Structure 1
Amino acid sequence: MMRVWSVFVLILMLAGIGCQGETEKSGKSPDDETTNKGPEVPQPIEPAFEPLAPPTAQEIENGWVQLFDGETLFGWEANDAGQEDAVNWTVENGVITADSGKPGLLLTYVPFADFEFRCEYRLAEDGNSGVFLRTVPNPTNPAVDCYELNFCEVHEGFPTGSLVARKKGKQPLLNADQWVPVRVIVKGTTIQAWFGKEKVLDFTDESNHILKSGRIGLQKNQGKIEFRHLALKPLGMESLFNGEDLSGWRVVPGSKSEFQIKDGTIHVTNGLGFLETEQTWADFVFQVEAITHG
């Protein structure tokens, strides 16, 4: 054991002498040498915006509608479906994505008039996309057929945050390759838009081409575009039930059901039956919360 230890000490001494000699020859101490720290590890980039989330239970109660279920394109249709080189709209991991095909729109089946809309988008660098508001299915002139909220950092005339052919946004917004929350209020002739918490657009349509209603369209123009957390709250909706009685409603003759008001809700018991409004409606969005027993 002693021999091994002696040899080990001798080796250390020789190593020390060798190092000392090299230091003296070079005229540099170890402290003078640049420390090799290895490659720098890139630090994660903090997101520029607070992420959106799907509507909460309270928001749904207040009228918010989830436009995208996170799994399918139910409620949406492409305006170039079946055409050659159509946009390749897909859904994966709760995200609507498109990255090839000619320019096209993914449209809601339902048209809307006044509403608040929100979503998150992520656009590839040098990409071109946007959200079309109150649009016709196949718009050809953004100054007449729709209100096009542009997502395009390289657009010379109407960069990100602008309404194409109508009003230039507040300032250039450089947000490529990151999730950007967008909120839009469309009411009457006015359109307001926020990117994150910053208001970037306040527009009033004073033209001869005011659009009172239309669909919402997600555009793929150039490059990869992704959308998620799409939700909408119709504005100016009328409540059909006052929570106290059946004013404005009538029981359809021949119904066996009994309709009673309990704790602000309509309870239906005792067989089949129908309750209908006294008024008639044309185009509308109907929202209701219901529960069945049995």
Structure 2
Amino acid sequence: MKQLILTGLLLTTLFAAKTAQDPNTLTAQEKKEGWKLLFDGKTTNGWRGAYSDKFPAKGWTVNNGMISIQKTDGSESQNFGDIVTDGEYSDFELVFDFKLTEGANSGVKYFVVEHSPKPKGSAFGLEFQVLDDDKHPDAKLGRNGNRTVGSLYDLIPASGKKANPIGEWNTGRVVSKGQHVEHWLNGNKVVEYERGSEKFRELVAMSKYKAPEYNANGRFGEAPKGHILLQDHGDQVYFRNIKIRTL
């Protein structure tokens, strides 16, 4: 009888742990810490198209607890378009799961501001790169690997990263507090920098973001607040467990 009780308690504990980790849910502790879901796993509530007041009519789908973008021709934000959060954030901790298909390219941007005129490609913002490093050519562009998965796109390469194989879930995390920003990938800190610092501005000056259009409404990447963005780069990518808390 004692063994049965212990087995029952173990199963209950394991079930509780699994339930706490179910996609697109928050534990009691997370709610206490101020976490909020940005994606409920069932609807597109809280999201809209970039530079639009509506969610894209095509391309983005919600199914089986995932939000995904349909594959097209690999071009940046030219088919169905990026999506952004209704809300804007400054000091925050953002967590998201992503799963790539072979050769896929996407990104999660933050501090996104929709300045006029609308750019030809993706809305401007700092980007946590989401990429198949082995199969997508962008991994070999830029400098020193700063366009590989987990990197601050075109600025700082991710170091010490451990990305899971294509078709498996990865967990990204962005922490922004004051000027300090960190990228984490699968529990490892892979990028760390200070927004607006002399070093940051030097990196911008060596990147594609030095172009005038990126700085016409203030220095690139230094907006005081902005939206979170999921990128349509013409490849199929899946997201889930998108949650945020203000710091």
CA separation in 1, counterparts of 2:49 and 2:69?
Answer: 11
CA separation in 1, counterparts of 2:97 and 2:37?
Answer: 13
- For the structure 1 residues 87 and 225, does the alpha-carbon distance in structure 2 shift closer, same or farther, using more than 3 Å as the test? farther
Superposed CA offset, 1:175-211 (max 9, x none): 3221101111012222211111111111222234312
- Hey, what does 2:68 align to over in structure 1? 97
- Runs ≥4 in structure 1, deviation > 4 angstroms? 80-83, 138-142, 171-174
- Hey, what does 1:148 align to over in structure 2? 127
Superposed CA offset, 1:216-238 (max 9, x none): 00112132110001100111xxx
CA separation in 2, counterparts of 1:87 and 1:105?
Answer: 12
Does residue 137 in structure 1 map to residue 114 in structure 2? Answer: yes
- The answer to whether the Cα contact below 8 Å between 1:87 and 1:220 also exists between their aligned partners in 2 is no
3-state secondary structure, aligned to 1:222: coil
CA separation in 1, counterparts of 2:68 and 2:120?
Answer: 25
CA separation in 1, counterparts of 2:224 and 2:53?
Answer: 30
- For the structure 1 residues 86 and 200, does the alpha-carbon distance in structure 2 shift closer, same or farther, using more than 3 Å as the test? farther
CA separation in 2, counterparts of 1:150 and 1:52?
Answer: 25
- Hey, what does 2:207 align to over in structure 1? none
- Hey, what does 1:203 align to over in structure 2? 193
CA separation in 2, counterparts of 1:168 and 1:203?
Answer: 11
CA separation in 2, counterparts of 1:134 and 1:52?
Answer: 28
Letter in 1 for 2:99: R
List runs of 5+ in structure 1 lacking aligned partners: 1-50, 236-294
- Hey, what does 1:124 align to over in structure 2? 101
Superposed CA offset, 1:17-64 (max 9, x none): xxxxxxxxxxxxxxxxxxxxxxxxxxxxxxxxxx77432112112210
Letter in 1 for 2:101: A
My pick for the range that moved more, 126-135 or 173-182, is 173-182
- For the structure 1 residues 114 and 82, does the alpha-carbon distance in structure 2 shift closer, same or farther, using more than 3 Å as the test? closer
Task: Indicate which of 20, 41, 44 corresponds to 1:70.
Answer: 41
TM-score by length of 1: 0.56
- The answer to whether the Cα contact below 8 Å between 2:106 and 2:129 also exists between their aligned partners in 1 is yes
CA separation in 2, counterparts of 1:202 and 1:141?
Answer: 29
- For the structure 1 residues 100 and 133, does the alpha-carbon distance in structure 2 shift closer, same or farther, using more than 3 Å as the test? same
CA separation in 1, counterparts of 2:45 and 2:97?
Answer: 19
3-state secondary structure, aligned to 2:244: strand
- The answer to whether the Cα contact below 8 Å between 1:80 and 1:86 also exists between their aligned partners in 2 is no
- For the structure 1 residues 123 and 81, does the alpha-carbon distance in structure 2 shift closer, same or farther, using more than 3 Å as the test? farther
- Hey, what does 1:191 align to over in structure 2? 181
Deviation at 1:74, TM superposition (A): 0.5
Does residue 215 in structure 1 map to residue 227 in structure 2? Answer: yes
TM-score by length of 2: 0.66
- Hey, what does 2:15 align to over in structure 1? none
Task: Indicate which of 212, 235, 242 corresponds to 1:230.
Answer: 242
Superposed CA offset, 1:55-86 (max 9, x none): 21121122101111111000100127699x97
- Hey, what does 1:167 align to over in structure 2? 156
Report the structure, 1 or 2, having the larger helix content.
2
3-state secondary structure, aligned to 1:159: coil
Provide the aligned C-alpha RMSD in A: 2.8
CA separation in 1, counterparts of 2:153 and 2:111?
Answer: 14
- For the structure 1 residues 106 and 203, does the alpha-carbon distance in structure 2 shift closer, same or farther, using more than 3 Å as the test? same
List runs of 5+ in structure 2 lacking aligned partners: 1-20, 202-218
Task: Indicate which of 56, 61, 64 corresponds to 2:27.
Answer: 56
